[in-house]
Structure 1
Amino acid sequence: MKRIRMIIAAAFLLIVAPLVFSCDTTEKKVPYFIINVKLDQLTYPVSSTNKLYAVFFVNFNWTTPWLNLSSSRLQIITPPLNIGDFPLFFIVFYDADNSGTLNSGDIFQGWDGVIVSGNNLTPIIVPETEMMLLNVDLDNNGIVP
């Protein structure tokens, strides 16, 4: 009887031990982004009137914006974005007419240098990290006609 209990206990440990030790106990990181924008302040002064905006899209073709952030500085900081493996597409634009939307005369740039609104946006490859620094050069920009 004692031997049967030992065999059952050993079998139980052989089955349960791998399950316990294979559990992923590390917490998935939810990154936030710091977007540094290079822009000629003499030509395009960033202020509370003329802000910079970062617009995040669901699709690569500039449709379905899901997050719109503004800043009166040359830096835009996102909240933590729990996006998992979902691709991340965004543009940064200077709001020349103080409308809060991308309009005629506003300058913009998509991630990875996309400056033509007809071109597909490039997704950001987001490593498993807590913070990611992104640099956007709005001096090399597209202008909304």
Structure 2
Amino acid sequence: MNHNAENIEPLILTFGYGNRKNYDEFLKYLEMFHVNCVVDVRSSPRAWSRKWYGTAIDKLCNSINVKYISQTALGNTSGNKNWIPPNQEEATLALLEIAQIGQKETILLLCAELQSAKCHRVSVANQLHELTGIAVKHLE
């Protein structure tokens, strides 16, 4: 599924798996938007369903030639949509790293919260947009 960046505008996508029981929507979006890199922005890449554990998503992504990066420094400690990273300095470095990847590849920020309006991934995406100027699209 890895796509050449030729003729594809860079894009930052966000997606929350919520209580989804399978990968159908996730895989559909990866293909539809030619995603090259999934960035997991959970402070702990675990879930009620082992299907959404970071290790399982890494394996799934590798099987379709998509890079998976667990970036726990971009996680949230606030308990709500207001983004308070575990460590601001580490979060800043992680944003710079992901911004560099986003310049070359379409990335998808993955989190647990189904609705983007209730999730810190919107703030993470906005920060990346400010650093790169790359458009952001929130997927539900």
Task: Tell me the TM-score normalised to structure 1 length.
Answer: 0.24
Greater strand fraction, Structure 1 or Structure 2: 1
Larger RCO (CA under 8 A, 6+ residues apart): 2
Task: Tell me the TM-score normalised to structure 2 length.
Answer: 0.24
Greater helix fraction, Structure 1 or Structure 2: 2
Higher Cα radius of gyration: 1
